[in-house]
Chain A
Amino acid sequence: MQQIYHIVIKEFLHLKRDRKMLAISILAPVIQLILLGYAATMDVKDIPMIIYDMDKSSVSREFVSRFVNSGYFVLSGNVNSPDEIDKSIEKGKAWIALVIPSDFSSKILSGKQTTVQLIADGSDANSANISVGYASQIITKFTRELMIGLETQIRSRFSLPTVNPVLRVWYNPELKSRNFMIPGVLALVLMIITMTLTSLGIVKEKEAGTLEQLMVTPIKPYQLIIGKLLPFILIAAIDVLLVIIVAYWWFDLPIRGSILLLFALSGLFVLTTLGLGLFVSTVSKTQQQAMMTAQFFFFLPFIFFSGFTFPIENMPQVIQYLTYAIPLRYYIVIVRGLFLKGVGIAELWPHAVVLFAFGVIILTLSVLRFRKKLS
């Protein structure tokens, strides 16, 4: 116990001396969260649009005003030739173009079908998809309103059935993507901080040769590991707390579940990340190597395949199976469940068990490997 205590003190002295590192470990997650909270929105707003109105009638103007008044589109200009459409979309000045044919109003007024054309810049697939979706909603609504006259006339003579969907959105009624992203960021920050600190902290001593010096002292390997990891756990706990505070008071994120449970389950996740950090340190000789390994073999795949931004259900089946091997996946479900859904251990235990199993296995293997490397 005494010896572990001394190592902890030594680690804290290191941290204190390396002020820049300490500041980064504690402040970076908060800055990261604030940035992400504002930037990480997939909502598509203010879509720049150009109009090529060949009809120029009051009906077509009314039609165009529907787009402008919807709040989704911003009119970036009227054009008078197909060439100009090409140019605006090539330059990225407009994402979507609406072409109204010259017989638009005459056909509508004479009770015939008319066709308008929408041109979307597909190079940003997500935005294009959503823009076309908004546009079709507006056109459908316009169409329905044109039909109402006809419908009421018919309705007075026949009864017409309709089905209306009554929507109720749970957990995140305003559908803010921020509410979804922030819990994920908490998970991400926790992983990056603990893994980086652990792997670099140990490799640094390797590089400097001080690890060997420590080994010739009577300190046992397990004491060394515990002593080295404890300060990182403390920093991780501070980070989690800070992130929760910012999420709750700055971003008004609901915390519907139990904070205590959040800390407990975060502890389970940290077992895994510390284990992985330790593992990285055993396979790396230099800090550069350690960082490259952590970065490319762990952080990036974890970020992409944990469901953090890209929904797992959309991945090919093979990849979906692979995502079960990513511990972050389970932790993200837990964090989101606790923040947004307010679920408890009754719903989360399967994820907690898997996380615990991962933690124990990875940490044990890494410790064994670390001890072998030392002796």
Chain B
Amino acid sequence: MKIQRIIPIVKKEFLQILRDKRSFTVLLLFPAILIFVIGYALNFDVKHISLAIYDRDKTSTSRDFINNFSNTEYFDINYIIDDYKYVDDLLNRGSALVVLVIPEDFSDKILAGKETSVQVLVDGSNANTATTAIAYIQVIVQTYSINLITDVLKRVGYNFYLPVDFRPKIWYNPELSSAKFLIPGLIGFILMISAIISTSLSVVREKEKGTMEQMMVSSLTTLEIIIGKTVTYLIIALVASSFVLLVGFLAFDVAIRGSIFWLYFGILIFLLGGLGQGLLISTITNTQQVAFMVSVFSSILPTFLLSGLVFPIRSMPVFLQILSNITPAKFFLVVVRSEILKGTGPSAYWDQLIYMALFSVIMIGLSALRLLKKAK
């Protein structure tokens, strides 16, 4: 193996990629564009829930109650209805997520100092949104009740107070912005896709075209060819991740709180694993179609599902929690989130680095074994 012989292969790969303008742009710039769009558009905050109101009381008291909903950004009162028959339709069509029904005796009971109840109908099909909506409603109604009580007591000269007050303090991401949470994860997701897919496809393509054999009969060794290819995609992926970090910083204020060196060190180890996996796939498949499918199902899916990128691992069934260890993205996420959001050094995540390194060694080792076996 000689370095001088690897450089021409890297050059050749770059020429090939450069010639295919679209693939080049996609590989290099698309991750950054995607981060921009996703960071801008996606969040889990539940706001502007479409609310329909059926006010059977129609008094100043009931209007006052309704104002508590319209005054928050959580609810948009989109429909005022005057019959039960519209409820079905609104929920079925999904035009309203919540229907609030205020009973006829609402104000009478409140003025008489009695207990009354309002009916809340919730479309539960999106469990996440519905859970949050229910929590908001409960807080609004309870606060309203407490205010009613406080008012009455004040009139009779009582001082009402809450025994336990609490102050939530959120670290690292005080405004709880989803962009800050998603961007570090997306770096891993996108790197994984481009590393695995581009490596496996580029090797399999040469196999399909027979150019792999041509290179084999030249004086190049398999190892040199593979290193050449890997180095190329490693460079591209590193540049692409720098773009992503830049966009995150410029557009979303996602600054790197920790050290850039350790961040890139983590990215490097993670990428080696991804490239190794791509290589391994290329050794077991013969057509690009199959290589692509295998890549998708062995990288995108586990990375998206099991890494904690979107879905919290702790909520999964135990067997999936165990299974989640097969995806290096899980460990990578801890590293990126620590370095970017928390600014903690490697002492907080050294074990994760070891897992990733282990994965890389296994992947590269396995593909090297398969390649050597084939070369014989």
- Asked if A154 and B153 make an inter-chain contact with CB atoms under 8 angstroms apart, the answer reads yes
Chain B 125-147 interface residues, beta-carbon cutoff 8 Å to A:
125-132, 134-135, 137-138, 141-142, 144-145
- What class of interface size applies to chain A in its complex with B? 35 or more
- Asked if B118 and A296 make an inter-chain contact with CB atoms under 8 angstroms apart, the answer reads no
* Chain A residues closer than 8 Å to B171, beta-carbon distance: 89, 119-123
Q: Contacts A39-B306, A204-B289, A296-B30 known; A115 to B167 CB distance under 8 Å?
A: yes
B38 within 8 A of partner (CB): yes
* Chain B residues closer than 8 Å to A1, beta-carbon distance: none
- Asked if B134 and A132 make an inter-chain contact with CB atoms under 8 angstroms apart, the answer reads no
A223 within 8 A of partner (CB): no
* Chain A residues closer than 8 Å to B112, beta-carbon distance: 159, 161
User: Roughly how many angstroms separate A122 CA and B169 CA in the complex, as a whole number?
Assistant: 9
B305 within 8 A of partner (CB): yes
* Chain A residues closer than 8 Å to B162, beta-carbon distance: 113, 143, 147
- Asked if A170 and B124 make an inter-chain contact with CB atoms under 8 angstroms apart, the answer reads yes
Q: Contacts A38-B317, A310-B44, A315-B41 known; A20 to B137 CB distance under 8 Å?
A: no
Binary interface encoding of chain A residues 33-46 relative to chain B, with 1 for a CB under 8 A from any of its CBs, else 0:
00110111111111
Residue of A nearest to B352 (CB): A92
A324 within 8 A of partner (CB): no
* Chain B residues closer than 8 Å to A173, beta-carbon distance: 124
User: Roughly how many angstroms separate A161 CA and B110 CA in the complex, as a whole number?
Assistant: 5
- Asked if A314 and B113 make an inter-chain contact with CB atoms under 8 angstroms apart, the answer reads no
A219 within 8 A of partner (CB): no
* Chain B residues closer than 8 Å to A102, beta-carbon distance: none
Residue of A nearest to B34 (CB): A300
- Asked if B34 and A41 make an inter-chain contact with CB atoms under 8 angstroms apart, the answer reads no
Chain A 3-56 interface residues, beta-carbon cutoff 8 Å to B:
18, 20-21, 24-25, 28, 31-32, 35-36, 38-48
CB distance from B321 to the nearest CB of A (A): 10
Chain B 141-199 interface residues, beta-carbon cutoff 8 Å to A:
141-142, 144-145, 148-149, 152-153, 156, 158, 161-174, 176-178, 180-181, 193, 197-198
User: Roughly how many angstroms separate A231 CA and B164 CA in the complex, as a whole number?
Assistant: 66
- Asked if A163 and B128 make an inter-chain contact with CB atoms under 8 angstroms apart, the answer reads no
- Asked if A24 and B342 make an inter-chain contact with CB atoms under 8 angstroms apart, the answer reads no
Stretch among B236-244, B269-277, B292-300 lining the A interface: B292-300
* Chain A residues closer than 8 Å to B181, beta-carbon distance: 122-126
User: Roughly how many angstroms separate A42 CA and B45 CA in the complex, as a whole number?
Assistant: 13
CB distance from B64 to the nearest CB of A (A): 11
A340 within 8 A of partner (CB): yes
Binary interface encoding of chain A residues 117-156 relative to chain B, with 1 for a CB under 8 A from any of its CBs, else 0:
1111111111111101101110110110011000100100
Residue of B nearest to A120 (CB): B170
From A125, A140, A154, give the contact of B44 (CB < 8 A).
A125
Stretch among A235-243, A287-295, A366-374 lining the B interface: A287-295
Residue of A nearest to B89 (CB): A347
Residue of B nearest to A168 (CB): B121
Binary interface encoding of chain B residues 60-91 relative to chain A, with 1 for a CB under 8 A from any of its CBs, else 0:
00000100000000000000000000000101
Stretch among A176-184, A210-218, A265-273, A355-363 lining the B interface: A176-184
- Asked if A167 and B134 make an inter-chain contact with CB atoms under 8 angstroms apart, the answer reads yes
Binary interface encoding of chain A residues 97-119 relative to chain B, with 1 for a CB under 8 A from any of its CBs, else 0:
00000000000100101111111
Residue of A nearest to B173 (CB): A122
Q: Contacts A41-B311, A43-B127, A172-B124 known; A161 to B152 CB distance under 8 Å?
A: yes
* Chain A residues closer than 8 Å to B119, beta-carbon distance: 166, 168
From B37, B40, B166, give the contact of A115 (CB < 8 A).
B166
What total of chain B residues lie within 8 Å of the partner, measured CB to CB?
A: 119
B232 within 8 A of partner (CB): no
Stretch among B46-54, B223-231, B354-362, B367-375 lining the A interface: B46-54
CB distance from B329 to the nearest CB of A (A): 13
Stretch among B4-12, B19-27, B210-218, B245-253 lining the A interface: B19-27
Q: Contacts A122-B171, A165-B117 known; A287 to B201 CB distance under 8 Å?
A: yes
- Asked if B169 and A117 make an inter-chain contact with CB atoms under 8 angstroms apart, the answer reads yes
* Chain B residues closer than 8 Å to A71, beta-carbon distance: none
From B22, B127, B290, give the contact of A21 (CB < 8 A).
B290
- What are 27 A-B contacts defined by CB distance under 8 Å? A28-B293, A43-B131, A89-B171, A90-B338, A108-B163, A115-B164, A116-B167, A119-B170, A120-B171, A122-B172, A122-B176, A123-B181, A125-B44, A125-B181, A136-B168, A137-B135, A161-B113, A161-B145, A163-B117, A165-B120, A165-B137, A170-B91, A175-B131, A192-B296, A287-B289, A295-B193, A316-B41
Which 3 A-B pairs give the minimum distances between C-beta atoms? A159-B113, A122-B173, A172-B124
Given contacts A161-B114, A162-B115, A295-B193, 8 further A-B contacts (CB under 8 A): A32-B301, A35-B301, A42-B311, A146-B163, A170-B123, A192-B296, A314-B47, A314-B48
Q: Tell me the B residues contacting A by CB distance below 8 Å.
A: 20, 22-23, 26-27, 30, 34, 37-38, 40-50, 65, 89, 91-94, 109-132, 134-135, 137-138, 141-142, 144-145, 148-149, 152-153, 156, 158, 161-174, 176-178, 180-181, 193, 197-198, 201-202, 205, 208, 285, 287-290, 292-294, 296-297, 301, 305-306, 308, 310-312, 314-317, 320, 334, 337-338, 341-342, 344, 348
Q: Tell me the A residues contacting B by CB distance below 8 Å.
A: 18, 20-21, 24-25, 28, 31-32, 35-36, 38-48, 63, 89-92, 108, 111, 113-130, 132-133, 135-137, 139-140, 142-143, 146-147, 151, 154, 158-173, 175-177, 179-180, 192, 196, 200, 204, 207, 286-289, 291-293, 295-296, 300-301, 304-305, 309-311, 313-316, 319, 333, 336-337, 340-341, 343, 347
